[in-house]
């Protein structure tokens, strides 16, 4: 079985051998980073890591604004022996400087660590491992201050790149902008940062919202509510709402303002003071005249809370109220009434985000990858009740 070798190590071994056999001599200039990246088919980060280790070994020296050159020490190693001695010099110096060398790490920052977090992490880890990088995970706990502190520390620690599932599209733009200014590779997943043209991997939220609403319209529903936690949480939320509206309009149904049910607004409404979140959401739905026969919830957690509250109150799902979710968490098929939802490919989101953060800077700049979703129809949706 062929032994696996990280890509940065392939570069190190190649230049070590060329120096040892005399092909490269003291004072010779190495190709530029982009040229090495193209030659070996790797990212700029991989090249940088390899060059740092070669420099730490004393075989090369980087001179600002001039380039990278073979050192006198490298020439002496070549003259004294062969490849093994030069390779030993790399190993010895690398070990001695391990505490000061940046570790080849990509850090993943997410606001949760449940099922989808694992799938995203798995995708990131497998792609990074293939390119010789380790992965660390950091939970921002849906707190923008926690997110801010994590990102600042990672940037200070000198990680090779950062992948972030932002807490919000409207917070911490200064922190993300600082990463861009300092040239620290980063990629966003699921949601962008408004005002910042940053690399992004995201599901097609608008199309997914449209598919959910279209499914309900196809069943005969004409009064559909859109239920969310916070209208200003993220652009992905507004995109899902946009898709929902598009489906209604395509069917000749004008979206009603009252059909947008927002928990953040209900919290400041005296009519719902003291009510729990899902009681308030359901009460708001039932207060609309005429009441919606279906609810498109922004995610599976909101849909599940709404579904359980409706059942507890004796409201039959889907006979009296159809409910849809978003994400296709594993628990959704095991609810009292299995949930109709949309599946995102979280593993692929993670893998594509890792590819993007490891790509050359010119490929990352402004890159946006939009991935498709899949409608998963279960028992929480059916034809609306008879008038």
By percentage, how much of the chain surpasses pLDDT 90? 61
3-state secondary structure of 226: strand
Residues ≥6 apart with Cβ < 8 Å to 246:
206, 209, 210
Structural domains of the chain, ranges and CATH numbers in brackets? 7-96 (1.10.10.10), 105-203+347-373 (3.40.50.2300), 205-343 (3.40.50.2300)
Count Cβ atoms below 10 Å from residue 159 Cβ, excluding itself: 21
Q: Among 9-18, 127-136, 250-259, 358-367, which stretch is predicted with the lowest mean pLDDT?
A: 358-367
Length of the chain: 387
Residues ≥6 apart with Cβ < 8 Å to 351:
123, 124, 126, 127
Which pLDDT value is given to residue 118?
87
| Residue listed under structure tokens 């719902």 | 272
pLDDT tens digits, 24-65: 888 899 998 888 888 888 777 778 778 877 887 788 887 877
Which pLDDT value is given to residue 99?
43
CA-CA distance, 54 to 232, in Å (whole number)? 48
**If residue 225 lies in a helix (H) or strand (E), which one and from where to where?**
strand 224-228
Listed ranges 68-82, 86-100, 144-158; the one with the highest mean pLDDT: 144-158
Of 291, 229, 306, residue with least CA distance to 259: 291
Q: Among 13-17, 136-140, 372-376, which stretch is predicted with the lowest mean pLDDT?
A: 13-17
Of residues 211 and 57, the one with the higher pLDDT is 211
**If residue 72 lies in a helix (H) or strand (E), which one and from where to where?**
helix 72-80
Which pLDDT value is given to residue 13?
87
pTM confidence score:
0.75
Q: Say if residue 3's pLDDT is above 70.
A: no
Which pLDDT value is given to residue 9?
80
3-state secondary structure of 120: helix
Pairing status of strand 186-189 against strand 161-164 = parallel
Of 301, 325, 294, 298, residue with least CA distance to 231: 298
pLDDT tens digits, 285-329: 999 999 999 999 999 999 999 999 999 999 999 999 999 999 999
Are residues 141 and 102 in contact, defined by beta-carbon separation less than 8 angstroms?
Answer: no
**Confidence grade of residue 98 (pLDDT, cut at 50, 70, 90):** very low
What integer best gives the mean pLDDT of the chain?
Answer: 88
pLDDT tens digits, 78-96: 555 444 444 454 445 444 4
Which pLDDT value is given to residue 78?
53
Across 355-378, average pLDDT: 90
């Amino acid at each position: 079985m062929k032994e696996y070798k990280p890509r940065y190590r392939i570069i190190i071994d190649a230049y070590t051998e060329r120096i040892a056999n005399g092909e490269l001599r003291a004072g010779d200039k190495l190709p530029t980073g982009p040229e090495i990246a193209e030659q070996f088919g790797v990212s700029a980060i991989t090249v940088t890591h390899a060059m740092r280790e070669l420099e730490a070994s004393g075989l090369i020296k980087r001179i600002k604004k001039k380039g990278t050159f073979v050192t006198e020490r490298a020439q002496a190693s070549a003259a004294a022996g062969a490849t093994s001695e030069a390779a030993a010099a790399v190993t010895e110096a690398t070990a001695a400087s391990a505490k000061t060398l940046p570790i080849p790490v990509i850090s993943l920052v997410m606001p949760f660590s449940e099922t989808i977090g694992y799938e995203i992490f798995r995708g990131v880890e497998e792609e990074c491992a293939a390119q010789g990088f380790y992965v660390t995970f950091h939970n921002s706990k849906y707190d923008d201050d926690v997110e801010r502190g994590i990102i600042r520390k990672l940037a200070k620690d000198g990680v090779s790149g950062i992948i972030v599932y932002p807490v919000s599209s409207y917070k911490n733009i200064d922190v993300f902008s600082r990463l861009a200014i300092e040239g620290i590779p980063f990629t966003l997943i699921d949601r962008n940062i408004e005002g910042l043209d940053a690399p992004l991997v995201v599901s097609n939220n608008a199309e997914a919202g449209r598919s959910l609403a279209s499914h309900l319209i196809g069943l005969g529903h004409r009064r559909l509510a859109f239920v969310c936690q916070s209208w200003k949480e993220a652009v992905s939320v507004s995109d899902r709402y946009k898709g929902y509206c598009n489906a209604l309009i395509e069917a000749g149904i004008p979206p009603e303002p009252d059909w947008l049910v927002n928990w953040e607004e209900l919290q400041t409404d005296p009519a719902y003071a003291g009510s729990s979140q899902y009681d308030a959401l359901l009460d708001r739905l039932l207060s609309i005249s005429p009441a919606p026969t279906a609810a498109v919830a922004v995610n599976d957690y909101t849909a599940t809370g709404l579904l359980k509250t409706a059942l507890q109150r004796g409201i039959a799902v889907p006979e009296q109220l159809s409910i849809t979710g978003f994400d296709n968490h594993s628990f959704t098929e095991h609810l009292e009434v299995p949930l109709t939802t949309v599946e995102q490919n979280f593993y692929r989101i993670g893998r594509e985000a890792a590819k993007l953060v490891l790509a050359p800077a010119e490929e990352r700049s402004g890159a946006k990858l939009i991935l498709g979703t899949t409608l998963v129809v279960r028992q929480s949706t059916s034809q609306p009740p008879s008038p």
